[in-house]
Structure 1
């Protein structure tokens, strides 16, 4: 049989049983929108609040039962994405590398091209989230869109890399809150407080306790307060903006837009700028977060891609405005980089307001980061739960279990918290090693984007008739958007492994390349030892689309 024929067989009728109409087990009488029908979709899942007819259709096509409660409405889903990605906050807090490698102008221009290039990646992710609105995200999309002979293998490796990236990102957010608290103590008690790594780790443990409590016992309330958090996110943005506009000293426009610097010691300014772009990349990560809570969003096939795209646009534009203001307010790049707090933004705020003002603004930003961490942990747990549900992880039955009473993956939440605590222990022995684990977030997630976009591009070119219906579609712009997004993500993947400065020593080497290859090797070993026998990939559950 030809490859094309195999393709059609795999996608349209994965198995004879999968394409049959299931026996009616449940009806959705009493759903909020009155979608109680006797069609094929409403017979396949138990009733859950907010479970619309389109959700029924999507879950039926993907062969999954509706186990999670759909607590997120359209606005709260958008708010969730806006607060989780919190681009202007991360850009303000974590810009040291951009200032070292590129300076004022370098940080500005790398953000502009990153926002533009990554936008095509976000377009591709949003459309795939509409085609298959499911918590698995990238590994599920790869399973559906990859050539049949590679579906299982590529999906399995992508699932491991996605799990790795989200778990590393989960740890990085908690670590960031711990170090910010330490920086505030340094600011207020410079002569008596000497920050120790173990103290930062203990603060991470405290953050993890908050994450677990809110995501397990506050899961019902958390979606309801997302709109309020988004309002605080916007008010915080305006607060920082006005303070810097009115009170901070200002650089010239020539310095901000044309003055590059190479504090990292690279052989050329161009190379320094390429290395420094990791600041902008890190700030824009997490755009696919809403895809991983898709099974908890009402009418997910429409509103998940909307939240992915418009949160990216809204947050990205806010970050441009704040970045320009921030760069104009940096009186001395060297002093900002070498500030005792370890955070250039604290130096900048200190030139604008009193110590009390710095404390107040930093605490406001810290609260927003904590809110982002809670949502990030929720997305991380859902992605991990979904991959375990498809037998992609060790102890999958336990990890993929859904608490019947709470209708959330409690075990996956606990596991994600435990992994964050274990990773934070590394910081006690070596900050370099911990930072390398954090940088895994970038390279691992870029690999999942690469594979998923490449697969949907292949499917779009080779067999466009087999592309699932998307209610948020790129239409004729799909191939150009996917192509540009793929080229950009490969470009980013290459630069994510570079060290910050030269000469490279054991302390400055970017160990993420070693850890990345190590985890990749482990996933390959797991696949050939266990995965290929028990992991079949989500595509085997996909039913033919009934129009």
Structure 2
């Protein structure tokens, strides 16, 4: 054994300005020294200013699995069906959905391009800071960060509430004398989110495997439900044709007090919510291998797959629904279950609703995974009170467990809104729609305006279509932001029970976050900050001295990107 040579370690020196990224360390002649060999993924995250803290155990498929689970087509359609049908009837789930999907796809493609350029968990807010005018990068990134965090924070509670509503609707279906109380709904929702938080706290590899299985279940249950709606409905037994006529299935029936065009735009709230989960790959990209390509691919794949499958499924609903008005106003309190009850036997209703319930549970913990990564990444930069606790990575699971449970606790407080009636709790859905697309589009706007000539695209980019797609997505969201704040009724009919409380819930929360920044947070928050130890950052002048020190202790030195030969 004494004849064996000592095993040498290999240190790596990475020159930030040689990397094709724009980061907080760019143009400062900085080099990063690490005590091990690095791959491309670690090189990119280091160049962005962060050390590698997670295991990269997500592949393209498993990343897609998380985002497709968050998308949760079947439970999302079931939970938001009211917004589609109650505004414009079948048009909201047919041609209205298609128009909305065009805008969503533009946003998804533009965001995917940014994800390739800034593959970090805090990507939207980080990209905003890197592309904004230096004087305003702090306030702009703060605004985008909090807007996106409110989306993530409300995602799991709202999905779990929809899941609980479907469970209790099944109970009412079997026992018409039963009417669920707010307390029962709250406890059911709390249990769903509690077990979801346990899953979200698991190691990355476990989460990847669970979400892969969830993706398969999503596709299987969606296909079975689609076939049963088309082939297993009881319309003929009711003396009706097997399917509705084309005019009925595509009809715009305005249930609001606004003009048809505005009512149709208001129905887009459903498609925005249904498709809001495609950003999830961005938030877990630090756990994904080949992140600069796999992350944007997963984003576009999720949005396109979800859009096509969602349209096909809702088309089946439009051609089989018996009465839109009855589905909206049924005593079951859940339009999807009410729709199924119109066209199927009780056993089939129970089966298909159970599919949606299972997928809603999967969707809730997938939302928690994305939300915890957002809280972790923003806390890493000091955006939140007690940030050091939320940016802590559990050494056993290698995941931000503290962030998971902090979000869970705040979510339970938000769910108390249900004791104020359905209208306040419904506002959470609006927050998910408006908050997400505000945070998605703000960095896109910067990319096509101020940062037009300085933006460094990643390996996945839109090329010559980048500006066109960016302007389309920005215009779409600019139209939708005020529309999402409109109530269904106006004038004397717009009572507190019918009010759209998005104005208070979302904009009120954003006002408080900006007020906090102006009063105090601007003193401590200047934008994203590197968590790389200062001793690992060296200037050009110190490079030779560092190399000599490493060699003198018997280790090898490799300059990343220059050659595989040792210095």
Q: Answer whether TM exceeds 0.5 for this pair.
A: yes
List aligned pairs for 1:294-443, cutoff 5 A. Answer: 294-443=285-434
Q: What is the distance in 1 between the residues matched to 2:388 and 2:111?
A: 28
- Residue number among 483, 488, 499 corresponding to 1:495 in the alignment: 483
Decide whether the 8 Å contact of 1:450 with 1:490 is kept in 2: no
Q: Which residue of 2 aligns with 1:230?
A: 215
1:66-111 per-position Cα deviation (integer Å, ceiling 9, x unaligned): 1112221121111222222123441244211221211112431221
Q: What is the distance in 1 between the residues matched to 2:342 and 2:462?
A: 46
Q: What is the distance in 2 between the residues matched to 1:512 and 1:13?
A: 35
Q: Which residue of 1 aligns with 2:145?
A: 159
Q: What is the distance in 2 between the residues matched to 1:292 and 1:75?
A: 15
What SS does structure 2 have at the residue aligned with 1:21?
A: strand
Q: Which residue of 1 aligns with 2:447?
A: 456
4+ long deviations beyond 4 Å: 11-18, 539-547
- Residue number among 506, 513, 518 corresponding to 1:523 in the alignment: 513
Q: What is the distance in 2 between the residues matched to 1:405 and 1:160?
A: 29
Q: Which residue of 1 aligns with 2:158?
A: 172
Is 1:211 matched with 2:196?
yes
What SS does structure 2 have at the residue aligned with 1:22?
A: strand
1:393-415 per-position Cα deviation (integer Å, ceiling 9, x unaligned): 11111111111221111111001
- Residue number among 459, 463, 472 corresponding to 1:471 in the alignment: 459
When residues 76 and 108 of structure 1 are mapped into structure 2, their CA distance, relative to the original with a 3 A threshold, is same
Q: Which residue of 1 aligns with 2:526?
A: 536
C-alpha deviation, 1:356, in angstroms? 1.6
Q: Which residue of 2 aligns with 1:484?
A: 472
C-alpha deviation, 1:171, in angstroms? 1.6
Decide whether the 8 Å contact of 2:112 with 2:297 is kept in 1: yes
- Residue number among 217, 229, 241 corresponding to 1:244 in the alignment: 229
Q: What is the distance in 2 between the residues matched to 1:263 and 1:346?
A: 20
Q: Which residue of 2 aligns with 1:27?
A: 36
TM-score, L = length of structure 2: 0.85
Q: What is the distance in 2 between the residues matched to 1:518 and 1:366?
A: 32
1:377-404 per-position Cα deviation (integer Å, ceiling 9, x unaligned): 0001101111111011111111111112
- Residue number among 181, 201, 204 corresponding to 2:186 in the alignment: 201
- Residue number among 262, 267, 270 corresponding to 2:261 in the alignment: 270
Q: What is the distance in 1 between the residues matched to 2:279 and 2:468?
A: 20
- CA RMSD in angstroms comes to 2.2
C-alpha deviation, 1:18, in angstroms? 5.3
Q: Which residue of 1 aligns with 2:550?
A: none
Decide whether the 8 Å contact of 2:66 with 2:281 is kept in 1: yes
TM-score, L = length of structure 1: 0.88
Task: Give the count of matched residue pairs.
Answer: 507
Q: What is the distance in 1 between the residues matched to 2:472 and 2:266?
A: 21
Query: Which 5+ residue runs of structure 1 have no aligned equivalent?
Result: 1-10, 29-41, 43-52
Q: What is the distance in 1 between the residues matched to 2:155 and 2:60?
A: 25
Q: What is the distance in 1 between the residues matched to 2:53 and 2:272?
A: 34
Q: What is the distance in 1 between the residues matched to 2:273 and 2:252?
A: 20
Decide whether the 8 Å contact of 2:321 with 2:343 is kept in 1: no
Q: What is the distance in 2 between the residues matched to 1:357 and 1:107?
A: 22
Q: What is the distance in 1 between the residues matched to 2:433 and 2:258?
A: 24
